[in-house]
């Protein structure tokens, strides 16, 4: 079992130093949407970091698990959760669909924790070879963005391939059967598949485009409980720092929770950045590029100004 002492010490110190109380209108339960492969939120959940820090304020924490990012955004849009962690693309599709969600923090990209895989026996050697091929990825996910960016880099467009819009588990099955020509996916699925006999990495994200991860909140919750969100953002930073210093324990925790073999999870964790920081202008610029890419291709109905969805922005 993981020790909670390091994770909780900073939170306890902040409370002892006189943390502010939440506004009177703040809900008494913070509902968090998470993916069981997302390391920072899973570590916070396992170690009850948020519960310990928020209990003196009379706030309970409820955790709701999701398979991947788009369902988290939909749950937040309809008011089922208050905050959640996702990749770069789900917020763009949600906000283009009129979901009033705000960026509160981010995990900047490490560069190689996702990519495009080809199955055993594939003759594809370059991104240009994707023309006319069937490529699997989850619609409105970070893999969607990576696929589009890869096609851009190759001088191709989405019209040049046959998209297979599949959730990760379904895409994994299709890839194993050989019924798709390529699969765009993130860790830990990426780490599992890339070492199977005959599987090759056609391109990893560090050669295509930066892919940041984000924590978002509904604007309604941010308006009601800004002091709580300030505390949550600080805690995410502390948990991220702890994860970076305890990678073997994090790998074991996620392996136990997901069923991913420990060697595969260890490989994924070793190339993951856990650094969690408030939003910056640079992060917003990266996210604006994602939104602009999808609007240019008319894959979202409206042009977004990402800055309109920033909660607080650090220098």
Q: Where are the domains of the chain?
A: 5-108+212-309, 114-207
CATH topology of domain 5-108+212-309: D-Maltodextrin-Binding Protein; domain 2 (3.40.190)
Residue 267 φ/ψ, nearest 5 degrees: -60, -40
In whole angstroms, what is the distance from residue 26 CA to residue 160 CA? 49
Residue 277 has what pLDDT?
A: 96
Residue 89 has what pLDDT?
A: 95
Tokens at residue 155, please? 């001088």
Residue 274 has what pLDDT?
A: 94
pLDDT tens digits for range 241-253: 999 999 999 999 9
In whole angstroms, what is the distance from residue 182 CA to residue 122 CA? 9
In whole angstroms, what is the distance from residue 270 CA to residue 255 CA? 13
In whole angstroms, what is the distance from residue 125 CA to residue 38 CA? 31
Pair 267, 189: CB distance under 8 Å: no
Tokens at residue 195, please? 């070492």
End-to-end CA gap in the chain: 38
Digitized pLDDT (tens) for each residue of the chain, 315 residues in all: 444 333 334 333 333 333 444 444 679 999 999 998 899 999 999 999 999 999 999 999 999 999 999 999 999 999 999 999 999 999 999 999 999 999 999 999 876 899 999 999 999 999 999 999 999 999 999 999 999 999 999 999 999 999 999 999 999 999 999 999 999 999 999 999 999 999 999 999 999 998 999 999 999 999 999 999 999 999 999 999 999 999 999 999 999 989 999 999 999 999 999 999 999 999 999 999 999 999 999 999 999 999 999 998 876
Q: What is the 3-state secondary structure (H, E, C) of 15-83?
A: HHCCCCCCCCCCCCEEEEEEECCCHHHHHHHHCCHHHHHHHHHCCEEEEEEECCHHHHHHHHHCCCCCE
Residue 314 has what pLDDT?
A: 77
Residue 57 has what pLDDT?
A: 92
Two domains, one topology: 5-108+212-309 and 114-207: yes
Residue 110 has what pLDDT?
A: 72
DSSP, collapsed to helix, strand or coil, labels residue 277 as strand
Q: What is the mean pLDDT of the chain?
A: 91
Residue 8 has what pLDDT?
A: 36
In whole angstroms, what is the distance from residue 135 CA to residue 67 CA? 20
DSSP, collapsed to helix, strand or coil, labels residue 127 as helix
Strands 182-186 and 134-137: parallel
| 210: DSSP letter | -
For the whole prediction, is pTM greater than 0.85? Answer: yes
Residue partners of 154: CB distance under 8 A and separation at least 6: 126, 127, 128, 130, 131
Tokens at residue 32, please? 């968090």
In whole angstroms, what is the distance from residue 245 CA to residue 250 CA? 9
pLDDT tens digits for range 151-163: 999 999 999 999 9
- Top-level CATH class of 114-207? alpha beta
Look at the block and give the residue holding tokens 């990495």: 201
Pair 115, 205: CB distance under 8 Å: yes
Distances (CA, A) of 53 to 2, 20, 161: 18, 12, 49
């Amino acid at each position: 079992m993981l020790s909670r002492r390091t994770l909780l010490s900073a939170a306890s110190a902040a409370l002892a130093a006189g943390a502010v109380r939440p506004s009177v209108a703040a809900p008494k339960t913070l509902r968090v949407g998470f993916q069981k492969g997302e390391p920072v939120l899973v570590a916070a959940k396992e170690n009850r970091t948020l519960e310990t820090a928020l209990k003196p304020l009379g706030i309970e924490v409820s955790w709701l698990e999701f398979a991947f990012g788009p369902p988290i955004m939909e749950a937040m849009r309809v008011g089922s959760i208050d905050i959640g962690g996702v990749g770069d693309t789900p917020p763009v599709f949600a906000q283009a669909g009129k979901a009033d969600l705000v960026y509160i923090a981010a995990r900047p990209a490490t560069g190689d924790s996702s990519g495009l895989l080809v199955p055993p026996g594939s003759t594809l050697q370059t991104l240009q070879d994707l023309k006319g091929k069937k490529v699997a990825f989850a619609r409105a996910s970070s893999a969607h963005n990576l696929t589009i960016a890869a096609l851009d880099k190759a001088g191709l467009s989405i019209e040049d391939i046959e998209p297979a819009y599949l959730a990760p588990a379904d895409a994994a099955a299709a890839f194993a059967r050989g019924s798709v020509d390529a699969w765009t996916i993130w860790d830990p699925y990426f780490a599992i598949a890339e070492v199977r006999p005959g599987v090759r990495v056609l391109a990893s994200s560090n050669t295509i485009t930066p892919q940041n991860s984000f924590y978002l909140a509904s604007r309604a919750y941010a308006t009601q409980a800004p002091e709580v969100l300030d505390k949550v953002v600080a805690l995410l930073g502390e948990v991220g720092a702890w994860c970076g210093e305890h990678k073997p324990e994090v790998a074991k925790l996620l392996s136990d929770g997901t069923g991913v073999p420990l060697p595969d999870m260890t490989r994924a964790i070793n190339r993951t950045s856990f650094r969690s920081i408030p939003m910056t202008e640079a992060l917003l610029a990266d996210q604006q590029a994602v939104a602009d890419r999808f609007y240019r291709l008319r894959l979202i109905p409206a042009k977004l100004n990402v800055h309109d969805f920033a909660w607080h922005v650090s220098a």
